[in-house]
Structure 1
Amino acid sequence: MQPVHVVGVGMLPFAKPGASEAYDVMGARAARAALDDAGVDYQSVQQVMAGYVYGDSCCGQAVSYRLGLTGVPVFNVNNNCATGSTALFLARQAVASGAADCVLAVGFEQMGRGAIAAQWSDRPDPSQRLLDTLDQVQGRDPQAPIAAQLFGGAGRMHMQLYGTRADTFGRIAVKARAHAAHNPLALFRTPLTLDEVMASPMVFDPLTRLQCCPPTCGAAAAVLCSAAFARRHGLDMRVRIAGQGMATDGNSSFDEQDLRKLVGYDMARRAARAAYEEAGVGPEDIPVVELHDCFTANELISYEALGLCREGEAEGFVLDGQNTHGGRVVTNPSGGLLSKGHPLGATGLAQCAELTWQLRGEAGGRQVPGARHALQHNLGLGGACVVTVYELG
């Protein structure tokens, strides 16, 4: 397995549903931005990994054809909210194995308004086992979005186990907006007070509206290549993927009656351990993280799953400011999904872009000084989790 370098990244500002360009236009724009950042022509790309959740077959081709009709293989990827990082995982795998020297990973989503919902009613729901477990453990509220019930239930479980207070989750939303104020690509940049977060309408206790990421439209992309290709073309080789892990659900997701595990706690832990081991680092070596804060509750339980703090200590981690500038590890300096929005297919590659900018020292007012390693966590229910460790060479 040869080293794989992230030589170019691109991201569009995300937009509310109905206010964006069409998915193929957004995807092609993000891809061109990544190619321009890398200094690579599309004709040099040997494979394309295209990630999206909502769309017909071959949307990836519709995007890539706007870049050029070169005849290269285009792989369409759908892994729920982990789609973008799954495309990244496959791109890295293709380069590391020697199957290709230069691969484009692009993620895009043109979403509709409202909460995420199933699209097909005439066939088995792939999330049925997850929903059955939710019914057994917590029951279902017909008025609340399913995702909020799942992640809100995980937050409740943490509260029951460790005495975590409801406003601790709210503080994560306050932190997200404080970070986003320095990110021109974030959709929501206005700072929030804890009172504002807690007073916003309740979606599913303990999650208020300002603790839930909004569905958005957008695109992001990354160009990955081998060291030999980068040297041959004089490309920026500073950032490489040092370790990566990907996991799906195990028995514990469904058998232990623990909603934290139902929404991916153990998946994240397994993927993180694999990524740390391959990279030869531990969580104590990571100063900056982009993690999957679809809800504030998921950010909090992910601190523990990723080893950023010990199990049961996430509340103290938040209250002591260890999750922001001046603390132990800056989590979501971009503002995260809570502030940028969450176009499912693009999210994982937007995280990749942010961490590449961080390691290259190009993150402006949200820069984490001296970062040499960075961690990415991207989660999709159903399920998939990808954790990636980046290293500054």
Structure 2
Amino acid sequence: MTVSIIGTGQSAYTRHPRAGTTTSGVIAQAVKAALNEAGLTPKDVDGFAVSSFTLGPDHAIDLAWRMGFSLTWLMQDTNGGASAGGMLQHAVRAIESGDARVIVLAAGDLMAGEAFATLVANYNSATRDHLTPLPMSGPNALFAMLTTSQMDSLGLTREDYGRIAIAQREWAGLNPGAVYRQALTMDEYLSAPVVAAPLGRFDCVPPVTGADAVVLVADPAGGRPRARVMSVRASYNADQQGGNGLTTGLSTIAEVAWAESGISPEDIQLACVYDDYPAMVVAQLADLGVLPEREDPSTFIKRRIATHELPVNTSGGQLSAGQAGASGGMHGLVEAARQLQGTAGQRQITARHAVVSGYGMVLYRYGSCATMTVLERAA
């Protein structure tokens, strides 16, 4: 049995949510949109998974009840940028085993000022007890050090990272759902205010309020466009906190994921990687094998990413579309599915295979969770 995404949904991303906006409300909007696209209703759903930092005091079952679901499978994931891949992995197994027939995966957060400040200050006990008192609000300073290390190791420059941000902003200009759509120049990128050297404003994801969702089923009859899941793998590796951060958990799962999918990195026509910072785009593409070991990273960025020869984060990614809390990991999955289903509008590309990666959950220094999904266009 194979499992496919047949519907995607997204609530409006916004930096300044209207009064009365709630986490459960934006997640419900995304779920409704995904079900509408799939041609299904809440009564058809028997499996549900959600990821959110701000859903409390409610839980997955509370949200399922509010949306009118009657379930035989339920999951709540707390792994941030890696949550979409983790939920997808479990959902695929659930459908294959017969535990559910129609599963909705959703993620979203209310990231208004106070909620965001509280989250970054109390992300976990390491952050609360050791980083926030410094003060080090959020992960910017940590990833500034990682970026410096990557620059030294790979010979990259700020201009190289700028080309990634600019390329993604070009894609965002074609995405009505992106928060930042105005063209970005290299001069604007380089002269932007410094957040934590060498990171400037355009190297850091803007927090937004919003949600994303997908609908999964066993491959349907009738030849409808869908994104078939060829492989999905996850790595939860706390040992990486002692490394240099330049290698992610993707390096430990990529080989088996490619083998399961029956294709290689060279077959990929779209990459949607978790882009909390440009340096992590480089790290994940390298760990996935999409950036070949034999090629100079700077040359690869100029030759393939900046020119859109290899479409990377065609929604604009989180750097331009925005990071909706725990929905950041779902954002790339939704975009890849839309491209493969042919529903990406002006930014539509021609692609048969896509790879999606998730990354996140900074325990103390670096992200400790990573997920990899290979998708195929099917009809």
The answer, yes or no, to whether TM exceeds 0.5 is yes
1:313 matched residue in structure 2: 296
1:154 is aligned to: 146
Matched, 1:301 2:287: no
Contact 1:42-1:68 within 8 A present in 2 as well: yes
Query: How many matched pairs?
Result: 368
Asked whether the 8 Å contact 1:168–1:315 carries over to 2, the reply is yes
1:126 CA drift (Å): 5.8
Q: Which residue of 2 aligns with 1:171?
A: 163
Which whole-Å deviations, capped at 9, do the CAs of 1:85-118 have from their partners, x for residues lacking one?
Answer: 3222222221133322211111111123256514
After superposition, the CA RMSD in angstroms is 2.5
Which residue pairs with 1:80 in the alignment? 80
Alpha-carbon displacement from aligned partner over 1:251-280 (angstroms, at most 9, x marks no partner): 4x1344x132xxxx2302223333212111
Specify which of 365, 374, 378 is matched with residue 358 of structure 2.
Answer: 378
Matches within 5 A, 1:159-238: 159-227=151-219, 230-231=220-221, 236=224, 238=226
Selected match of 1:387 from 372, 375, 379: 372
Deviations 1:28-51 (A, max 9, x none): 111111111111121121111011
Q: Go from structure 1 to structure 2 and tell me whether the alpha carbon gap of 1:103 and 1:313 turns closer, same or farther (over 3 Å shift).
A: same
User: TM-score, normalization: structure 2?
Assistant: 0.89
What is aligned with 2:25?
Answer: 25
Mapped to 1, the partners of 2:210 and 2:156 lie a distance apart of 34
**Is contact 1:87-1:106 (8 Å) kept?**
no
Query: Which one of the candidate residues 117, 121, 129 is aligned to 2:120?
Result: 117
In the aligned structure 2, how far is the partner of 1:350 from the partner of 1:235?
Answer: 26
- Superposition deviation, residue 8 in structure 1: 1.0
Unaligned runs of 5+ in 1: none
Asked if 2 retains the 8 angstrom alpha-carbon contact of 1:172 and 1:318, the reply is: yes
What does the per-residue CA deviation read over 1:280-335, in whole Å, with 9 as the maximum and x for residues that have no partner?
Answer: 11110101111111011211222211211134722211122x015552x2101110
Q: Which runs of 5+ in 2 are unaligned?
A: none
| Conserved 8 A contact 1:11-1:30 | yes
d(CA) in 2 for partners of 1:309 and 1:69? Answer: 42
Correspondence 1:37-186 to 2 at 5 A: 37-68=37-68, 70=70, 72-113=72-113, 117-119=120-122, 125=125, 142=134, 144-186=136-178
- Deviations 1:184-210 (Å, cap 9, x if unpaired)? 111110111111111111111211011
Indicate how the Cα distance of structure 1 residues 88 and 283 shifts in structure 2: closer, same or farther if over 3 A, else same.
same
Query: Paired residue for 1:247?
Result: 235
Q: Which amino acid aligns with 1:384?
A: C
Secondary structure, aligned partner of 2:80: coil
What SS class does the counterpart of residue 266 from structure 1 fall into? Answer: coil
8 Å contact kept, 2:51–2:80: no
Q: Secondary structure at the match of 2:334?
A: helix
Over the matched positions of the two proteins, sequence identity in percent amounts to 26
Shift of 1:250: 5.5
The answer to whether the Cα contact below 8 Å between 1:285 and 1:373 also exists between their aligned partners in 2 is yes
